[in-house]
Amino acid sequence: MNKISFTTLCFILFAFLTPLKSNAQMWSVGVYLNGLNIHLKRPVNGHLFHRILTKNKRLVYNLGMGIRVTYYFNNYAGITLMQALVPYDCGNKMFGMSQVGLSLSSAYWGYAPHELILMGGPVLFYRKNWNTLPDYKNDGLFKVSNNNIWQYKWVWHGGFIEYNYHYNKNNALGLYVIPGIPELISISGQHTSYIK
């Protein structure tokens, strides 16, 4: 058994075997605004980037929205569905991501103002084909769909880190981070509501 499979197995066992608490079985719905993208490598297609914040073209901002829905079956663990859409990415093309996975939270609901969430699971990234952009160089990151309209990338071990500050019992403000190492780190702001 390789290291990733063992880690995944431990994650699932912890999530499902943690005893249920009296305040478990809660939903959380997070709505977030896409924000900063930090490119960790020198961008091959940096000459095509829009909304650049630094001269080396590694820091850009994109405007888009996403929603995250999590069902917690105990105080620590739940299953999460995510969907994000960015009308105009770095190349001014539509971009999206869809993900499902297991979440682990550090907080007892209603008792701690600070919460850290780790989520892991497969993710699909997709965007309108950049091949139509002048001087586009294929960096091998995305595959092209059969209809040549979309580019996509499956990541089987995707995940995110989320920090929330609970300003009351049912609502929180936070930061959502996708550590897309070694390509980029994406940081967004979000608002989360909790429903029992």
- Here the CATH number for the domain that contains residue 59 is 2.40.160.20
Q: Is residue 5 part of a domain?
A: no
Residue 118 φ then ψ, to 5°: -115, 135
- The answer to whether residue 10 sits within a structural domain is no
Whether 7 is in a domain gets the answer: no
Q: Which residue type is seen at 122? A: P
For residue 107, give the DSSP letter.
Answer: P
Domain assignment present for residue 4? The answer is no
Cβ atoms of residues 142 and 127 within 8 Å: yes
Q: Does residue 65 lie in a domain region? A: yes
Residue 97 phi/psi, 5-degree rounding, is -150, 140
Per the domain annotation, does 26 fall within a domain? yes
d(CA 175, CA 116): 10
pLDDT tens, position by position, 23-73: 556 899 999 998 899 999 999 999 999 999 999 999 999 989 999 999 988
Do 165 and 190 contact (CB within 8 A), yes or no? no
Q: Give the predicted TM-score (pTM) of the model.
A: 0.83
Range of the domain at 98: 21-195
Question: Within a domain: residue 3?
Answer: no
As for how many domains the chain has, the answer is 1
